[in-house]
Chains A and B, each alone.
Chain A
Amino acid sequence: ETGVTQSPTHLIKTRGQQVTLRCSSQSGHNTVSWYQQALGQGPQFIFQYYREEENGRGNFPPRFSGLQFPNYSSELNVNALELDDSALYLCASSLLVRREGRNEQFFGPGTRLTVL
């Protein structure tokens, strides 16, 4: 186990609703990255938070937003849910010494979101 936890494990929403997913990073880590994994695909980078600030973003619309808290846990918020948002949402934590560092990312088990 990586020590990265996510909640909830499963979630069902309807189109147009809003959702908040949560991630607790591994002890000692200061960076959380969020990924979306559609069925049968590899994870796609959404964004990363480093020391409570967004540290980079992938090709996702603004209705995908996030937060990182002083204890380095993080939230992913998605507004105006669409059917295509159905996916496994993964968070990964790591320890970066500097903003552009390269380190192992440890993944949590994911939250399975279904949008009806």
Chain B
Amino acid sequence: GESVGLHLPTLSVQEGDNSIINCAYSNSASDYFIWYKQESGKGPQFIIDIRSNMDKRQGQRVTVLLNKTVKHLSLQIAATQPGDSAVYFCAEKGDTGFQKLVFGTGTRLLVSP
């Protein structure tokens, strides 16, 4: 079946540090992965995505790495800021024909000044 899990439920870092949030997925047929940030009381906000034909993609201060061999996804945030404090979800598009996203339970990132 489909499942997306996260290794750490909470990650605490100091402002300015680099953060790494990890995610394992189980569906080897998944071809599209997304990281979302969700702040309290808000809907998930798109951060970055990656297709299965890539192993790395960079955005502004963020990098997503995809390792299909071990079915692992990570989000790296450079120079973490207090505004980065939120819950981060990885999501995958499974092997259904339509765009159903399967989300993990999330990792809470706490950034201390």
A50 to B42, CA, bound (A): 24
Q: Which of B51, B99, B103, B105 contacts A96 (CB 8 A)?
A: B99
In the complex, what residues of B have CB within 8 A of residue A44's CB?
Answer: 103
Residue in contact with B99 in the complex, picked from A41, A105, A109, CB distance below 8 Å: A105
Report yes or no: A104 in contact with B49, Cβ–Cβ below 8 A: yes
The CA-CA distance from A109 to B39 in the complex, in Å, is 10
The dominant DSSP class at the A interface is loop
Q: What 7 new A-B contacts, CB under 8 Å, besides A41-B105, A56-B99?
A: A4-B43, A43-B89, A100-B98, A102-B32, A105-B34, A107-B43, A107-B45
Which range contains the number of B residues in contact with the other chain? Answer: 20 to 34
Contact partner, B43, options A31, A48, A58, A110, Cβ 8 Å:
A110
Complex Cα distance, B103 from A90, in Å, reads: 13
Q: Which of A42, A50, A108 contacts B105 (CB 8 A)?
A: A42
Most buried by A among B44, B97, B105: B44
Interfacial chain A residues near B98, Cβ < 8 Å: 48, 50, 55-56, 99-100
Interface centre among A42, A43, A48 (most CB of B within 10 A): A42
A71 contacts B by Cβ under 8 Å: no
Rounded to whole angstroms, the CA-CA distance of A71 and B83 in the bound complex is 35
